Structure 1
Amino acid sequence: MTLIGDGARLVDVVSGRVLGHDDLVVEVARVAEGLAALPEGVLFARSSIDLSSLLHYLGAFEGGRAVALIDPALNTESLGSLVARFRPGAVLTAPEGEPPPGYRAKDGHWVRAEAEGVRPHPDLALLLTTSGSTGAPHFARLSRRAMLANAHAIAEVLGIGPDDAAPTNLPPHYSYGLSVLNSHLARGATIVIEPSGISGRTFWDAVSRCGCTSLAGVPYHYEVLRRRGFDPADYPRLRRLTQAGGKLRPELVTEFDAKMRAAGGGLYVMYGQTEAAPRMATMPAELLAHKPASVGPAVPGGEFTVRHNDGTETTHPKITGEIIYRGPNVMMGYAEDAAGLALGDELGGVLPTGDLGYLDEDGFLFVTGRLKRIGTVFGNRISLDDLEQAARATGLGIDIVAAVPAGDKVVLFAEDVGPDVCKDASRALADRLHLHASGFDVRPVDEVPLLASGKIDYQALMERI
């Protein structure tokens, strides 16, 4: 089955080029033919928000060539380390400078000198890094079946059709951004390629001019939209906002839900992980006001259970434990090096998410935290996600905050506040949790660092401690 549904098209705002369905199919086939001539093995594609990057991805997918989408901001040393571990047939759109040992520069790429390499498993279509903000990168191995299953499941629950259009404010190497691309193209919709992001005037001009009907964002994007005074009524065709990539503050859920309903549209709160290609749950917009803290039921074809400490699983309501997901969109497993690329499906459609949560009596999921996002304050284990939420709830004007563990205390970086507010926040958190204020080191920061996906770069913050 193809990823390019009947009527799908790409609109490149920068060049003004429009690829209608037939032209898109021809162009993707041309790119696929060029990729097929490269040495065997996985391909690395440094993927920006531009037409060339999307064509490389689509050419690889449609041509049956396994591809890893790489953040172009990854430094040369880290990229070289990945190349050494996985020995790709080529690095597409390679950075300037000398290629690593065993590779030669050709047509803007690094091409491996040896023709033979590790042949990926025939089901393997895509590799995406999953370390996110907290560790060294490794790859989730996603099959063609998993990606197509999730694209169509998301298109079904959101009602995506040929008259829809979505902008590329999330990068394609980020699973949520790629999911927007896949779910729209699979149903014959339009992708508007505009790289400046939601803070750029040209982005919003493109949203208006191209008649975009949906916009995706992580929590940070919604904080920015709130500051900008975003009003969906200014964009009459924009009828759908989607949110994933972390928990959105309850007051923002309420605010954007009300704004979208007033404009005749809806806010869809979603839950996913790269390992699930990536989306697992969607909260129906019409029910959001009744269950604002929920991420909704599983997507079509999926199922949630909750695992207890003793290893048993249940769907009984209100019992908290690790969230387990089952569905056709679950990855095949992880790859740590080239040998891992040849492996088959190791998970059988079952994904322990590492998230904590519970189901209600209607089967709607409530995510309450991460198993591994834990800090220790004087020997007391504290959810760092809950601590960030508590800092926002102090009433001190802290909107954007990131918490990281630091030995027997927690450091919280608060954006756009002064030292006095930070001191007050430390005391407020201490009072709330009945611990000494020295356990909560709240520090002012001009900007909380972000990954290209818009998620907080916790690793960069830990390096500041």
Structure 2
Amino acid sequence: MIHPSARLVDAETGRVVAGGELSGLVAAAADTLGAVRAPGPVFALTPTDVDGVVRYLGAFAARRAVALLDPALPALPGLVERFAPAVVTGVRGAAPAGYRDANLPGLGPVWLRTGRDGVAPHPDLGLLLTTSGSTGNPKLVRLSRAAVRANAAQIADSLGIDGAAVAPTTLPLFYTYGLSVLNSHLLRGATVLLEREGLLRAGFWRAVDTHRATSLAAVPYQYEMLRRLRFDPAQHPSLTTLTQAGGRLHPDLVADFARRMGGNLYVMYGQTEATARMTVLPPARLADKPGSAGLPVPGGSLAVDGGEIVYTGPNVMMGYAESAADLARGDELGGVLRTGDLGHLDDEGFLFLTGRAKRIGKVFGVRVNLDDVERSLAAHGPVAAVAGDDRLRVFLEDGDPRAVRSELAARLGTHVSGLDVRAVDRLPLLPTGKIDYRALESTA
């Protein structure tokens, strides 16, 4: 998956790893992992740095199923117990029971399982990612090596990525959207700028300018923040393209950022269960397809069954895993994914999303689409809606809660007593940049 011309650049240290050096580091990590005799996956705690990328690519090259995990994941002990990884890389602290601390060539500090028993993952299994928004007890999405490579090529083709591209990391590498930026650029011999500060910090933009980044990937909340920052692409002349996924971007923001970028905005739709992305809206169709998530990536197709979007393609997962035994299972979906998202296709096959099947609440017994609620209030800035106890709770970063409550009651045709609208300084976010709805649901 690594083109000979691919480069990694660490924005903080200035370290550049490319060509033979990159291949050598990956090969060394692969050799070490290949010599680990215990069965089971590799658990890779994956920070945004060169070593984290090398450990991931080394596991992939060694044909060891690798789970990319948040280094700060609170559920790690439980996941280790459930999935019995052969080795855990990028660790800090003492090894748990059944493991020993080691320092392995090409990997650095690890926890190494002491026993030789356990479940061997299916030979096609390449990548494991936690389900989006998972907290205490996440499932793992099982992705084949073929699916990872296929989606990297689909994305690279759809976005026209070539060796001149330079993409900064704006999202974690253990998040499917962030990882897809890495994979698609390495596949085509481009440069990935490993940046850890985040796009709200001045250092990020200095790195963009210093290393002449050409594109930037962001989720809807980050676009809200960019608007607040009065993002002006003229101040960053190398930056020619923006991409968006990770949730539906309000049409007003689509139009706004397309205007700022002279039309060079790619709106996309995807899920971890489809490796990363399933559709792309070509910039040339932004004007005549407002609100659309685009057309299927090459090799993919869409259908709608009872209002639910069904995607078929080579990038669909093998299935879920809830325990080590599930890792030995083969492909259970046959390339067909029922997404759980609602929408429709127009007469040209362009996809329009209307909501999430499970994002439904009730107000006095009446079903309400929470995504529709958020879209209706988007003019007030960042907003999130959750359900609970036959009421809706709405959280605002901007706007007057009393006025918004009255506006929403009129829009829904319900009494204000069924709505709880609150002002917050900042909506809670997952490491992926998405809104942490579970944290809001737990708010009394």
TM-score (norm 1): 0.92
**Contact map agreement 2:78 2:137 (CA 8 A) in 1:** no
Q: Over aligned residue pairs, what C-alpha RMSD do you find? A: 1.3
Render the CA deviation track for 1:195-245: whole Å, top value 9, x for unaligned.
Answer: 101011111111111111110000011011101111112222211100000
Cα deviation for residue 391 of structure 1 reads 2.1
State the one-letter code of the partner of 1:72.
Answer: P
Change in Cα spacing, 1:136 to 1:385, as seen in structure 2 (3 Å) is: farther
SS in structure 1 opposite 2:121?
coil
Q: 1:442 aligns with which of 408, 421, 436?
A: 421
State how far apart, in whole Å, the 1-side matches of 2:30 and 2:167 are. 24
**Contact map agreement 2:221 2:433 (CA 8 A) in 1:** yes
1:296-315 equivalences under 5 Å are 296-308=294-306
Is it true that 1:423 corresponds to 2:419 in the alignment?
Answer: no
Q: For residue 17 of structure 1, what is the aligned residue in structure 2?
A: 15
Q: For residue 80 of structure 2, what is the aligned residue in structure 1?
A: 83
State how far apart, in whole Å, the 1-side matches of 2:410 and 2:343 are. 26
Cα deviation for residue 389 of structure 1 reads 1.3
SS in structure 2 opposite 1:101?
coil
Q: For residue 314 of structure 1, what is the aligned residue in structure 2?
A: none
Q: For residue 106 of structure 2, what is the aligned residue in structure 1?
A: none
State the one-letter code of the partner of 2:231.
Answer: F
**Contact map agreement 1:164 1:214 (CA 8 A) in 2:** yes
Render the CA deviation track for 1:372-405: whole Å, top value 9, x for unaligned.
Answer: 0111111011111111112224xxxx21111111
Render the CA deviation track for 1:313-347: whole Å, top value 9, x for unaligned.
Answer: xxxxxxxx100000000000000100000000000
Name stretches of at least 5 consecutive residues in structure 2 with no aligned partner.
104-108
1:259-408 equivalences under 5 Å are 259-261=260-262, 266-308=264-306, 321-393=307-379, 398-408=380-390
Cα deviation for residue 464 of structure 1 reads 1.4
Moved more, 50-59 or 333-342: 50-59
Moved more, 164-173 or 132-141: 132-141
Q: For residue 120 of structure 1, what is the aligned residue in structure 2?
A: 121
Is it true that 1:208 corresponds to 2:189 in the alignment?
Answer: no
**Contact map agreement 2:128 2:142 (CA 8 A) in 1:** yes
**Contact map agreement 1:133 1:458 (CA 8 A) in 2:** no
State the one-letter code of the partner of 2:191.
Answer: T
Moved more, 345-354 or 228-237: 228-237
**Contact map agreement 1:426 1:438 (CA 8 A) in 2:** no
Q: 2:31 aligns with which of 29, 33, 38?
A: 33
Moved more, 36-45 or 176-185: 36-45
Render the CA deviation track for 1:336-376: whole Å, top value 9, x for unaligned.
Answer: 10000000000000000000000001110001100001111
Is it true that 1:99 corresponds to 2:118 in the alignment?
Answer: no
Is it true that 1:460 corresponds to 2:442 in the alignment?
Answer: no
SS in structure 2 opposite 1:402?
strand
State how far apart, in whole Å, the 1-side matches of 2:350 and 2:373 are. 24
1:63-82 equivalences under 5 Å are 63-75=62-74, 78-82=75-79
State how far apart, in whole Å, the 2-side matches of 1:463 and 1:236 are. 44
Q: For residue 316 of structure 1, what is the aligned residue in structure 2?
A: none
Moved more, 8-17 or 446-455: 8-17
State how far apart, in whole Å, the 2-side matches of 1:64 and 1:15 are. 30
Render the CA deviation track for 1:261-308: whole Å, top value 9, x for unaligned.
Answer: 1xxx60000000000011000000111111120011100000000002
Aligned pair count reads: 438
Q: 1:412 aligns with which of 385, 394, 397?
A: 394
SS in structure 1 opposite 2:206?
helix
State how far apart, in whole Å, the 1-side matches of 2:31 and 2:17 are. 18
State the one-letter code of the partner of 2:33.
Answer: L
Cα deviation for residue 65 of structure 1 reads 1.1
SS in structure 2 opposite 1:438?
helix
Cα deviation for residue 87 of structure 1 reads 0.5
State the one-letter code of the partner of 1:167.
Answer: P
Cα deviation for residue 135 of structure 1 reads 7.4
Moved more, 223-232 or 344-353: 223-232
SS in structure 2 opposite 1:95?
coil
SS in structure 2 opposite 1:140?
strand
Name stretches of at least 5 consecutive residues in structure 1 with no aligned partner.
309-320
**Contact map agreement 1:135 1:459 (CA 8 A) in 2:** no
State how far apart, in whole Å, the 1-side matches of 2:418 and 2:85 are. 46
State the one-letter code of the partner of 2:216.
Answer: L
SS in structure 2 opposite 1:173?
coil
Cα deviation for residue 449 of structure 1 reads 0.5
Q: For residue 139 of structure 1, what is the aligned residue in structure 2?
A: 140
Cα deviation for residue 15 of structure 1 reads 2.2
Render the CA deviation track for 1:128-159: whole Å, top value 9, x for unaligned.
Answer: 01142587310110001101111001100110
**Contact map agreement 1:322 1:353 (CA 8 A) in 2:** yes
SS in structure 2 opposite 1:111?
strand
Cα deviation for residue 23 of structure 1 reads 1.3
**Contact map agreement 1:32 1:63 (CA 8 A) in 2:** yes
State how far apart, in whole Å, the 1-side matches of 2:242 and 2:145 are. 27
State how far apart, in whole Å, the 2-side matches of 1:293 and 1:390 are. 14
**Contact map agreement 1:44 1:70 (CA 8 A) in 2:** yes
Q: For residue 59 of structure 1, what is the aligned residue in structure 2?
A: 58
State how far apart, in whole Å, the 2-side matches of 1:426 and 1:136 are. 34
SS in structure 1 opposite 2:261?
helix
State the one-letter code of the partner of 2:340.
Answer: G
State how far apart, in whole Å, the 1-side matches of 2:67 and 2:80 are. 11
State the one-letter code of the partner of 1:207.
Answer: V
Is it true that 1:238 corresponds to 2:217 in the alignment?
Answer: no
State how far apart, in whole Å, the 2-side matches of 1:326 and 1:349 are. 5
State the one-letter code of the partner of 1:90.
Answer: V
SS in structure 1 opposite 2:158?
helix
Moved more, 407-416 or 179-188: 407-416
State how far apart, in whole Å, the 1-side matches of 2:356 and 2:79 are. 27
State how far apart, in whole Å, the 2-side matches of 1:430 and 1:27 are. 59
TM-score (norm 2): 0.96
SS in structure 2 opposite 1:32?
helix
